[in-house]
Amino acid sequence: MSHETIAISGASGALGSLLAELAVREQPAETVILTTRTPDALADLAALGAQVRFADFDEPESLTAAFAGAQRLALISASNVVGDRVTQHGAAIDAAAAAGVGHILFTSMPRVDEDDHPAGHAAREYRATELLLPPAGPAWTVLRNGPYAELNLVERIADSLVGGDLVTNTGDGGMAFVSRIDCAAAAYAVLTQDGHAGMTYDITGPASVSYGDVAALLTEVLGQPVGFRGIDDDEMAARFRAAAVPEEMVEPRVALGRAIRGGFFSAVSPTVEQLTGRPGLPVRSVLETHRDTLAAIVAAAA
């Protein structure tokens, strides 16, 4: 079976590394191009035969050569909190077209075409990037990845723990948390299947889960009680500041909680199963995978 050569940008990042590892497992490593600002971080995949290349969205001259030889590109959205993602993404799109890439997959976020998006400027940047794709030339697909379960329920959960309680401004609102593992699997499916050109897909978890539900799941998974307490937006902002969350992230994270409270991210899409042939991972599975880390975080907050 022949495989098209695929390129993955941001291949040493949280999502990109999962996609890179999946690609190297599923097809000949020499048909996988991994671009990153830190090539040494991908030495293990280079040793397996993957083509690891330097690329920096802030250095447009590095991009065309980095993408050369790829038929398809996974353009993982830039992770900077403050900055011009549109310029960065636009440089990558232009470079991909110049390199002869035939299909670009871009990772976006849900509902970025709505004016009242809680992510504000970040959402506008994602939408502006989506609009750059059709006139660029190559075929394109957009994956609007929902809020990552690992990010919100593992990596950031300490910021919302007070004593034995999970404390948020999300009320009873649910969110269709999606595992990065499923986002990587969905992206790989699009990169290796036909029929997705010109499509925009919502990538979510299999159920909408509230933070009260998360507290109950943590209680079961950890074998110790974790409560839930709702607070207002001002208290949430104060809590984030007390937890040393960077000031530029305080209001976006308060706004996220407000949006969850209003059901902004509650819609569930079947796309993960449609693309990959298996159901998406439930929140409980993600919590179980990270049980030891979560146990330590909860113990430290007690």
| pLDDT tens column, 240-250 | 998 898 998 89
Please tell me the predicted confidence (pLDDT) of residue 164. 87
- Residue 190 belongs to some domain of the structure: no
Cα separation of 16 and 36, whole Å? 9
Rg of the Cα atoms in the chain: 20
Please tell me the predicted confidence (pLDDT) of residue 120. 82
Residues 6+ apart with CB under 8 A from 87: none
The last residue of one of the domains, among 127, 145, 163, is 145
Please tell me the predicted confidence (pLDDT) of residue 259. 87
Q: Residues 213, 286: one domain?
A: yes
CATH code at position 212:
3.90.25.10
Cα separation of 103 and 248, whole Å? 35
Please tell me the predicted confidence (pLDDT) of residue 80. 65
- Residue 200 belongs to some domain of the structure: no
Q: Residues 158, 126: one domain?
A: no
Q: Residues 113, 26: one domain?
A: yes
Q: Residues 121, 233: one domain?
A: no
Is the pLDDT score of 2 beyond 70?
A: no
- Give the model confidence (pLDDT) of 9-44 as tens digits: 999 999 999 999 999 999 999 999 999 999 999 999
Q: Residues 128, 85: one domain?
A: yes
Q: Give percent above pLDDT 70 in the chain.
A: 98
- Residue 183 belongs to some domain of the structure: no
Please tell me the predicted confidence (pLDDT) of residue 47. 98
Segment among 103-112, 158-167, 204-213 with least mean pLDDT: 158-167
Segment among 63-77, 171-185, 242-256, 276-290 with least mean pLDDT: 242-256
Please tell me the predicted confidence (pLDDT) of residue 142. 99
- Residue 185 belongs to some domain of the structure: no
Task: Write the CA distances from 76 to 10, 29, 61, 255, 290, integer angstroms.
Answer: 6, 19, 18, 24, 24
- Residue 152 belongs to some domain of the structure: yes
- Give the model confidence (pLDDT) of 79-113 as tens digits: 765 568 999 999 999 999 999 999 999 999 999 99
Please tell me the predicted confidence (pLDDT) of residue 83. 64
- Residue 91 belongs to some domain of the structure: yes
Contact yes or no for 265/147 (Cβ under 8 A): yes
- Give the model confidence (pLDDT) of 175-190 as tens digits: 999 999 999 999 999 9
- Residue 196 belongs to some domain of the structure: no
Average of per-residue pLDDT across 59-81:
93
Q: Residues 152, 292: one domain?
A: yes
The last residue of one of the domains, among 145, 170, 189, is 145
Boundaries of domain holding 244? 147-178+205-266+281-302
Amino acid at the residue 301: A
Is the pLDDT score of 235 beyond 90?
A: yes
Phi, psi of 207 (to 5 degrees): -155, 155
Q: What is the dihedral of CA 167, 109, 196, 184, to 10 degrees?
A: -50
Cα separation of 33 and 99, whole Å? 13
Q: Residues 91, 168: one domain?
A: no
The last residue of one of the domains, among 130, 145, 160, is 145
Average of per-residue pLDDT across 212-228:
97
CATH code at position 126:
3.40.50.720
- Residue 15 belongs to some domain of the structure: yes
Cα separation of 113 and 137, whole Å? 22
Q: Residues 78, 106: one domain?
A: yes
Is the pLDDT score of 163 beyond 80?
A: yes
DSSP assignments along 185-234, one per residue: HHHHHHHH-SS-TTEEEEE--SS-EEHHHHHHHHHHHHTS--EEEE--HH
Q: Residues 21, 117: one domain?
A: yes
pLDDT band at 256 (very low <50, low <70, confident <90, very high): confident
Please tell me the predicted confidence (pLDDT) of residue 155. 96
Q: Give percent above pLDDT 90 in the chain.
A: 84
Taking each helix axis from N to C end, the angle separating 291-301 and 211-222, rounded to the nearest 10 degrees, works out to: 100
Residues 6+ apart with CB under 8 A from 260: 170, 171, 173, 174, 175, 211, 266
Q: Residues 11, 68: one domain?
A: yes
Per the structure, the count of domains in the chain is 2
Q: Residues 134, 224: one domain?
A: no
Q: Residues 94, 169: one domain?
A: no
Please tell me the predicted confidence (pLDDT) of residue 192. 97
Is the pLDDT score of 277 beyond 70?
A: yes
